[in-house]
Amino acid sequence: MEKTATKSRKKSVSKDDFKLAYIDHVLTHGTNPASVFAFAKALKSTEAEYYTFFNSFKALERTIWTDWFDQTIKTIEEDPAYAEYTVREKLLGFYFTWLEVLRNNRSFVLKRFEEISRKELNPYFLEGVHPHFKAYVNDLITEGKDTTEVAERPFTNQYEKAFWLHFLFITRFWVNDDSSDFEKTDAAIEKSVNLAFDLVGKGPLDSMLDFAKFLFQNK
């Protein structure tokens, strides 16, 4: 009797099952599911089970993108060489790995970026990624100050905003890249990261600021 009860017990749908099914539905039907009820029913699940993981489809999608970001960080930090990289090299490694993770779901990524304006700076599906990226890049900036790769300036606390725009630029560039094996994106990453660190590093601008400060203090 106990065996029969065990066999008839419904297999629960996992959090990952819901995420994979959601991506499949969006790509197959070109739109989000009509309702949580219909979506859960198609998986032989229930609304109640769905709501144990997500409170909306937007929440589900934010989780998908945040998981990709977390996977990126996990991958780069598992590389023993990563800890020895310069801050510039760490950011390069992050971008190459981020896009490698996205490549596994490129069709879904393309669809989402095609649906939003190029002027959109905070896409709803990246709302979960934003604070994670902010924390990651602030750690890099702090490390960069220690290694003198990042110059301490009055507006240093604004760097995280500039790097977020850079993150969006790189991701969008990859979305629109039709070159073989995304060679143009690789070049864009290297050139733009090098430029970014040339700008945030100590250079002629800092000498000008130091001289201006000296003149002001000795006028």
Q: Which mean pLDDT values do the consecutive 10-residue runs of the chain (219 residues) have?
A: 46 92 97 97 96 97 98 97 96 98 97 92 95 97 94 85 96 96 95 90 64 63
Helical segments of the chain, H only: 2-8, 15-29, 36-42, 47-50, 57-78, 87-103, 106-114, 129-146, 159-176, 183-200, 204-217
How much is the pLDDT for 211? Answer: 57
How much is the pLDDT for 204? Answer: 56
How much is the pLDDT for 160? Answer: 93
How much is the pLDDT for 6? Answer: 42
How much is the pLDDT for 4? Answer: 47
pTM beyond cutoff 0.85: yes
How much is the pLDDT for 11? Answer: 66
